[in-house]
Structure 1
Amino acid sequence: MSEIVGSAWKIIPQFQSRSIKATVKFYNEELSFITGGLHPDDDAPTFCSIFIGKKAAANIYFHKCSPEEFHPSKAMISLGTKELDEFHDHLRSRAKVEFAQPIKDEAWGYRQFTIKDIDGNELTFFKFLEGGNPGAD
C-alpha cells in the first residue's frame, strides 16, 4: 500500500469563480500565472486551469458558479528561497492585487504572505525559514 500512496505527485485545488474570463485575466495579468485550458473554449467558458511552476506544479482549477452559490477557497503555494520575496515585491507593484496578510516570518517556520483574488479566494505564498526550499532557488 505504501508504494501506491507513495506514487502521489500533485494536488489540484478547485476554486469557484463568478467569471472565468475575469479570473483568467486577473491570474494571467496580475499574478503571472499561465492558462492551462478553458472549457468550452469560447466567449462563455465555465472552467479554466491556471498554473505556475515546473510541470504546472502549482495548478488550480476554477469552475464558474452563480454569485449566490459562491464560496471562497484557500490554497498555499510554496516558492523558492529568494523567489518568495521577489514575487512579493512584484505583486506589491500591481495595483489590482489585494494583500490579506503582509509578508512576515511566522512562528511555525514559514515566511509568507496572503493575497485575495477578484472573487475573494485566498492564496498564501510561503517558503520554509529553515531546511532549504525546492524551486528555482
Structure 2
Amino acid sequence: MSLEILKSAWKVIPMFQSRSISLTVKFYTEKLGFELASVKPEDESSQATFCSLFIGKKADANFYFSRASNEDFNPSHAMIALGTRQLDEYYDYLGRLAGIEITEEIEDTPWGFRQFTIKDNDGNLLTFFKFLEGGNPGQE
C-alpha cells in the first residue's frame, strides 16, 4: 500500500535532551557555529526548558532540545549531511577547537559515506557526513 500523503514530508527535526539549555546554546552556537532560533521561556529570569538551534539554508538542519533532569536524561544521535568540500573543512575546524570531543575520526565507510562523529556537552552524538558517490550539495 502506498500512501501518497506521505510524499509531502519535507523536513525532520530531531528532539534531543539537555541537562542545561543555557550550556547547550553556548556549546552549539560558540563551538559548533549553529544559530539560535529560540529559547523558551524567553524571560531570562526563568531557567530555560527548550531551545531550537539550526544550520543550513532555511534551517535545513534544525534541532530541538528540551531540558531533562540527570535521572531522566537519555542521549540521542543524529546525522547531518554537509557539502563535498565542507565536510573535511568542518572536521579540520572542529579538530582545532578546545572542548570538542571527536568520538569517531573522519573516514570513508563501507556503506558509502565519508563521516566523523562528535559528542556534545551532554553526551549527544552528531555524525557529520557526505556521500562518496552520487553527488552532494557544494560539489564542484
TM-score, scaled relative to structure 2: 0.94
Give deviations 1:23-62, integer Å, cap 9, x for gaps: 0000000000001101001331100000000110001100
1:33 aligns with 2:60: no
Q: What number of residue pairs does the alignment pair up?
A: 136
In structure 2, what is the equivalent of residue 128 of structure 1?
A: 131
1: CA distance between counterparts of 2:99 and 2:127? 17
Q: Percent identity?
A: 60
Give deviations 1:94-133, integer Å, cap 9, x for gaps: 1111011000000110000000000000000000001101
2: CA distance between counterparts of 1:19 and 1:50? 14
2: CA distance between counterparts of 1:42 and 1:74? 30
SS in 2 for 1:103: strand
2: CA distance between counterparts of 1:40 and 1:85? 37
Q: How many Å apart are 1:93 and its aligned residue?
A: 1.2
SS in 2 for 1:12: coil
Q: How many Å apart are 1:2 and its aligned residue?
A: 4.3
In structure 1, what is the equivalent of residue 69 of structure 2?
A: 66
* RMSD of equivalent CA atoms: 1.0
Unaligned runs of 5+ in 1: none
2: CA distance between counterparts of 1:15 and 1:91? 21
2: CA distance between counterparts of 1:32 and 1:17? 18
TM-score, scaled relative to structure 1: 0.96
In structure 1, what is the equivalent of residue 86 of structure 2?
A: 83
